[in-house]
Structure 1
Amino acid sequence: MATTRVTGRGQKSPVDEEFLKQLYQGGELLAQGRVPEARQLLERAHQLQPRNEKGRNLLGLAYFKLGLFDRAAEIYEALVRDNPVDATLRVNLGLVYLKTNALQRAMREFEAATDLQPDHQKAHNYLGLALAQAGEYGRAREHFVKAGSEVMAEKMAKAIAGEKVLRPSRAMPVLPRAPTPAPRPPVEGQWGTQFGLDETPPAAAPASAAEEDPEDLRFAEDEGPGALSEEPADTSGAVDETGAGIEAAFAETAQAVAPSEPLPQSLEEAVPELPRAVAFPSGRDVPVLSELVPALALAGASQAQPFRVGNGSFSARVEGELLTRLEGLVAFTGQLQFQPEVKRFRGRPTEEPFGDGAGRFVRASGQGVLFLEPAESRSFLAVDLGDAGAYVREECVFAFEEAVAFDNGKVPSEVTPDLDLVHLRGQGRVVLSLGGTLRSVPVAGETPVTVPLSHLVGWQGKVTPRVVALPGVVTPPRVAVELSGEGFALIALPVR
């Protein structure tokens, strides 16, 4: 709940007056569809009172409508941390993830919302959509039934019965094979052209097609991880329900101040509270611990999903052996043993430790589940190597399956310590630790690509690296890596 500073005789301070003015007018503009103008006012309000829930909620909605999903996610992640038993906020965060095809994160938030509020039909409906895209038709049908979405429940029943041949794609992005001949520049918004990202948003449905309860789902290829494909590929008349209804639901759960209400002359009247879901019976001012705890459970990996990357956490199922760092270890279940790992050169083990201190790699063996959290300002991304390998900076590799072969190496440097690398190859999954959103730049022909070392994750393909100093910076030199050949440079863009 936002607090208001009061001056003498019960009057608000100038800061509070200005905050309410910016918040109210921003809410009006947002309701009128003038989103860029609303964003400016709401950002000013946020600067004045960064912890105000109404201000953050409306600013998150503005970012969402503008397609700034990283920023919207940051705001709603913080709101959920502050209000873990608020089902409405979890639905909002889940909608941001669903809009960006981050299916596992979306499912986690929708599941939490349905645990907190079992009769939340929209949470069930969007959970069904996410599960359907991940190929879990049985579970998806259960939630469509709870949502009262008979059409989608019937579609899932047909998929289960095999009346339509649906092929679920991998639930995890796959590292693409380096192109031959020279790669073409990626097309903005096309899945797979930027190293299999889950941040690329699906196309939003027209506003006129948005409904509160989606009743259809496009089954089309190459729309993202977990997307469904149908044979024959006939999507005539289909509605893109990944986008349809999301903005309507988002606006409903984070509604702005009614524009028809006149602005108070003295701003003495507070802006009306946004609706909040109640996770416990009315009259009870705090939740019962036994009711609260199940909703806060960390998402655990399973046999069907051995790597599970969630909102600010990562869990890995160990059944046999797994190579991983234990930095950020939260807990583990089962009987696990940990053996320090050493670097390898040309397939043979050396005596040099693989990683330093708490970040040293270990070989976890036995049977159980590891729960870990990323270091500050970093995040996890799980990818499948597919048929091609990749060279990744050692600090960006966090874990990988035993089936993945690895070799350690260095890129010599005259301007900085040598660049430590890990060559990963073979069929298997890898978890990357990134300082931002993963992106790629094609490397082709005679024109090299130079990436500042602070942004470099690695590369894929037949690429030759060279450590160089960026021009214009003398003391200390700013280091970069020049890449030439055929393939892709892998970079991480910090979230601002």
Structure 2
Amino acid sequence: MRADRGFAGDGEQFLELLNRGSDLFAAGELAQAREALEAAVALRPKDPKANSLLGLCYFKLDELDKAAEIYTALVHDNPLDVTLHVNLGLVELKRGRPAAAIRALEVAVNLAPDHRRAHNYLGLAYYENGEIERAREAFLKAGAHAMVEKMEAALRERSEGKEWENGAADPDVEAVPSLSELCESLRLYWPRGAPFAVEAAGVALDFASGIYTRLDGLIVARGNATFEPVRKRYRGELTASSFGTGPRQVFHARGGGQLIIAAQLAPSEPPRLFTPVRLVEDFYVVESCLFAFEERLDFENGRVAGPRSGLDLHLVRLRGEGHALLVTPRSIRTEAIYGNETVRLPMEGLVGWTGPITPRLLEGPAGAWVELTGEGSVLLLA
């Protein structure tokens, strides 16, 4: 009981500090607002609202290094949040780091192509970085006609051989959004209806009834779906083996909704590539390359024994008409096999195949290889 009261007390204290900080910030009492918000963040270090407001407070106080640190952490934890990327870009612009601002703002406009403020800041960042043509394009998308004319004048002078002096751009052309504007814009820009909507920052899985999917990289789940771990199927029978383990477990999501999945799992890792496919024939896919598929597709797990113990190829056969989502570390290409031809490739480069193809594992010059014989199309890593 004492612990429960302690948790309740911490929660009440956090909300009191957050509300006090918000009120002080709105009143322009920035130093006092910073103290209250720092205390709130100390109680809940990962709370996005408290951190975002504290970041704005640091920005207003010209404590830009602290603001950058906060927004860098926020975009790591919330990679599909457009406004956080915009604010990080603005902070980096004010710090005099246009290249870093460009990185943040390019993510923002990829997530929200119609975000005029993001395009405006991106134009300023390109301008500061000496990329006049790209700045012009960004200002055009932002509807900043005066800046478009300025960029066109700069381009004309360059074409005439005149030296263009890149005067300092003012990132305060548009004000930092207020807290109410920030809250209003805190939404994810993803289409609804398509089974898999892929963007640079991740993928949205939209399902009306049910879907089989992994959840590693999950940002948010909309709707009231339930999630049940899936077991492998061999020859039509369920087994005791899990379909995936740990964070890569496959779940059966039922009830309808939308899942937002991030492409990048950690800052030190490159982003994953998602590839949606529409199936009308049997498809054999390497288990680790299959991220999700519609429940109207039948599935069966399989294994090709390797040349030595522990070196097996785990596959999934999808049958029926529907959509599947592949996940790979790099782009996919295809190779055709004709007339009972045989091809070989390193096992780690195989994604899957269609058609009557027989696989076999063997020892290659540097590790295990896959030998494929038959006729069909092979998907492999580029």
Query: Residue 115 of structure 1 contacts residue 295 of structure 1 at CA under 8 Å; is this kept in 2?
Result: no
User: Aligned match of 1:404 in 266, 277, 297?
Assistant: 297
1:308 and 1:449 mapped to 2: Cα distance? 33
The Cα shift of 1:459 comes to: 1.4
Percentage of pairs with the same residue: 31
Partner in structure 1 of residue 249 of structure 2 = 360
The Cα shift of 1:108 comes to: 4.2
1:353 and 1:306 mapped to 2: Cα distance? 25
Where 1:383 maps in the other structure, the secondary structure is strand
Is 2:344 the partner of 1:450? yes
CA pair 470-315 structure 1, distance change in 2 beyond 3 A: same
The Cα shift of 1:433 comes to: 0.9
2:205 and 2:237 mapped to 1: Cα distance? 26
Which of structures 1 and 2 has the larger relative contact order (alpha carbons within 8 angstroms, sep 6+)?
A: 1
The Cα shift of 1:425 comes to: 2.2
Partner in structure 1 of residue 89 of structure 2 = 83
| Aligned-partner residue type, residue 112 of structure 1 | H
Is 2:361 the partner of 1:470? no
CA-based RMSD of the aligned residues comes to 4.3
1:457 and 1:255 mapped to 2: Cα distance? 47
Partner in structure 1 of residue 219 of structure 2 = 330
CA pair 273-392 structure 1, distance change in 2 beyond 3 A: farther
Deviations 1:16-50 (A, max 9, x none): xxxxxxxxxxxxxxxxxxxxxxxxxxxxxxxxxxx
| Aligned-partner residue type, residue 286 of structure 2 | R
| Aligned-partner residue type, residue 299 of structure 1 | Y
Deviations 1:324-344 (A, max 9, x none): 111112121222211111111
Q: TM-score, normalised by structure 1?
A: 0.45
| Aligned-partner residue type, residue 181 of structure 2 | E
Where 1:454 maps in the other structure, the secondary structure is helix
Is 2:6 the partner of 1:112? no
2:321 and 2:210 mapped to 1: Cα distance? 15
Partner in structure 2 of residue 246 of structure 1 = none
Query: Residue 286 of structure 2 contacts residue 351 of structure 2 at CA under 8 Å; is this kept in 1?
Result: yes
1:379 and 1:84 mapped to 2: Cα distance? 27
The Cα shift of 1:255 comes to: 7.3
Matches within 5 A, 1:250-265: 258=158, 260-261=161-162
Query: Residue 211 of structure 2 contacts residue 294 of structure 2 at CA under 8 Å; is this kept in 1?
Result: yes
Task: Name stretches of at least 5 consecutive residues in structure 1 with no aligned partner.
Answer: 1-78, 95-104, 128-145, 148-250, 264-270
Task: Name stretches of at least 5 consecutive residues in structure 2 with no aligned partner.
Answer: 1-84, 94-100, 124-135, 145-150
| Aligned-partner residue type, residue 239 of structure 2 | T
The Cα shift of 1:317 comes to: 2.2
How many residue pairs get matched?
266
| Aligned-partner residue type, residue 428 of structure 1 | G
Is 2:310 the partner of 1:421? no
Where 1:395 maps in the other structure, the secondary structure is helix
| Aligned-partner residue type, residue 214 of structure 2 | R
Larger radius of gyration: 2
CA pair 434-294 structure 1, distance change in 2 beyond 3 A: farther
| Aligned-partner residue type, residue 306 of structure 2 | S
Range that drifts further, 416-425 or 371-380:
371-380
Is 2:187 the partner of 1:297? yes
